[in-house]
Structure 1
Amino acid sequence: MTLWRRASGADAGPLADLEQAANLVGLAHVFGDLPFPYDAVLTRWVLVLDDPEVVTEVVDGDQGLVAFAAYDHESLRHVAVHPGFWGQGIAREAVVRSGATRLWVLDDNHRARGLYESLGWVPTGVTQECPWEPHPTELEYRRG
């Protein structure tokens, strides 16, 4: 079992760093050559960490954060694992431990969608536009 700890305000930068590392590899086919919106992501993490309704948990590694999961009483809001640790079951563990019943995922994030579907999550048919350029489609999933 992975050792998770509750994130603090000091983790905002490392959370943004991990999100960037994971997205540049896992979502390059979606965002292409667009620059990663680091400042906006960092600002979002500061707000998430300050939100008393959101639990943010992280896994530490020798070179920085290995994984994170942010969730509230209903929604899995953010989850990522550093690409160097993919395939070890950490994301699966994060999704399960969150206890969430709802999430949004990029339509073209086939790796994540496969994980959620293997855990019994199903798309609801509801879509929205992602706030980050080029504004790809996000799909709502519910735990079945």
Structure 2
Amino acid sequence: MSAAQWRRATADDAVALRDLERVASQVGLAHVFGELPYPDDDVLARWVLLLDDPEVSVEVVEDGQGLVALAAHDGSTLRHLAVRPDHWSAGLGREGFLRAEAAGARRLWVLEANARARRLYESLGWAPSGVTQECPWPPHPTEVEYAAP
């Protein structure tokens, strides 16, 4: 596991959270979203709301270039997990996941086509619950609920 220093995100991190999520999505999910424009304003608005929600914990790791990893969770759900592509395979995704799980997360939603994330969750014992839903962002791919063992 990494020796990363996690800290609680603040309202000042909203744009950086959106930017980290964007770069991770554009690299890791290009096969899903293709050339569609990234919903910058909607994603930023979501981060502002999450950062203002006292029931949601948003934790981040940063380096000299900005945010490297994020994990957002509440008492029952891992809401968001992302790692900047230049730090993939360094253990930060696993570490963020385990932090959320230790804080009580027992479910999450992941794109059905996000094989990288699904491999991580399954390697940690989580499995699809059988429940699916439509992603809110075009082209509205399927999301799969995962649950803790």
Q: Same fold (TM over 0.5)?
A: yes
Q: Report the equivalent of 2:90.
A: 88
Aligned partner letter, 1:89: G
Q: Structure 1: which 5+ runs fail to align? A: none
Q: Report the equivalent of 1:61.
A: 63
Deviation at 1:61, TM superposition (A): 1.1
> What's the C-alpha RMSD, in Å, of the aligned pairs?
0.5
Q: Which structure 1 residue ranges, 4+ long, deviate > 2 Å from structure 2?
A: none
Q: Structure 2: which 5+ runs fail to align? A: none
Cα distance between partner residues in 1 of 2:38 and 2:69: 19
SS of the residue corresponding to residue 71 of structure 2 reads strand
Aligned partner letter, 1:107: E
Residue 131 of structure 1 pairs with residue 136 of structure 2: yes
Cα distance between partner residues in 1 of 2:30 and 2:6: 28
Deviation at 1:46, TM superposition (A): 0.2
Aligned partner letter, 1:21: V
Which of the numbers 97, 102, 107 marks the counterpart of 1:102? Answer: 107
Task: Give the number of equivalent residue pairs.
Answer: 144
Q: Report the equivalent of 1:7.
A: 9
SS of the residue corresponding to residue 103 of structure 1 reads strand
Residue 116 of structure 1 pairs with residue 117 of structure 2: no
- Between the two proteins, what is the percent identity of the paired residues? 62
